[in-house]
Amino acid sequence: MSERLAERPPVFDAGFLRGLEDLFKWRRDVRSFRSDAVPDGLVERLLRAASHSPSVGNSQPWRFVSVETPARREAVIANFSACNAAALATYDGERASLYARLKLAGLRDAPVHLAVFCDHATATGHGLGRATMPEMLDYSVVAAIHTLWLTARAHGLGLGWVSIIDPLEITRALDAPAPWKLIAYLCLGYPEEECPDPELERRGWQAHEAAGAELHRR
């Protein structure tokens, strides 16, 4: 028997389960960050955790790009500003006024920027599970992002997912390979405030749906 097979599975006791529920509850989409730097090696530790995420056919298609140069960050910020203005123009009245008051990204504040891509040309996994649902590659990357998000929260960090951007423009700005598809642009750092409820709920944009409302039976 191999050493790996001989290992005993961990026991997740009641205390762990309570902590896990707290982690889910306190995981928030952060848009306001402190200026404190993220300690050396911590981002790499988060990425190692993300590498344990499930992926279709064990394809592991996630590709993380640390965006560090000022010019590239400014290109991302300019793109967000243009897309945000266009999004604002789609609303009217009080909803437009509310949208204009929302802080929707921490691009200027966050010490760490991560662009997360899916490598659609990866040979890893030998295509298993992708013939019928090729979008599973993208979903695998989303699972890795969620793992990263929870691990960051457990280390006291906040993460913000910026979706008000043009993915093709960002891909070009970062010189990503042609087969790579942008899945997420992430801001990472220590949050200015910590709350168990979503900021968009607190600001009156959208109330939280009742638990279980999404369950349908057939």
Are the C-beta atoms of residues 47 and 188 closer than 8 Å to each other? no
User: Within its chain, how far is the Cα of 49 from the centroid?
Assistant: 14
Strand pairing category for 158-162 and 112-119 = unpaired
User: Within its chain, how far is the Cα of 110 from the centroid?
Assistant: 14
Are the C-beta atoms of residues 80 and 156 closer than 8 Å to each other? no
- Name which residue leads in pLDDT, 165 or 215: 165
| Identity of the residue numbered 111 | P
Q: What is the pLDDT of residue 81?
A: 97
| Per-residue pLDDT tens over the stretch 127-136 | 999 999 999 9
**Quick check: 169 pLDDT over 90?**
yes
Question: H/E/C letters for each residue in 54-110?
Answer: CCHHHCCCEEEEECCCHHHHHHHHHHHHHHHHHHHCCCCHHHHHHHHHCCCCCCCCC
User: Which segment of 102-106, 118-122, 172-176 scores lowest on mean pLDDT?
Assistant: 102-106
Compute the distance between CA of residue 33 and CA of residue 183 in angstroms, rounded to an integer: 22
State pTM to two decimals.
0.92
Just give the CATH number of 28-192.
Answer: 3.40.109.10
> HSE of 48 in the Cβ direction (CA atoms, 13 Å)?
5
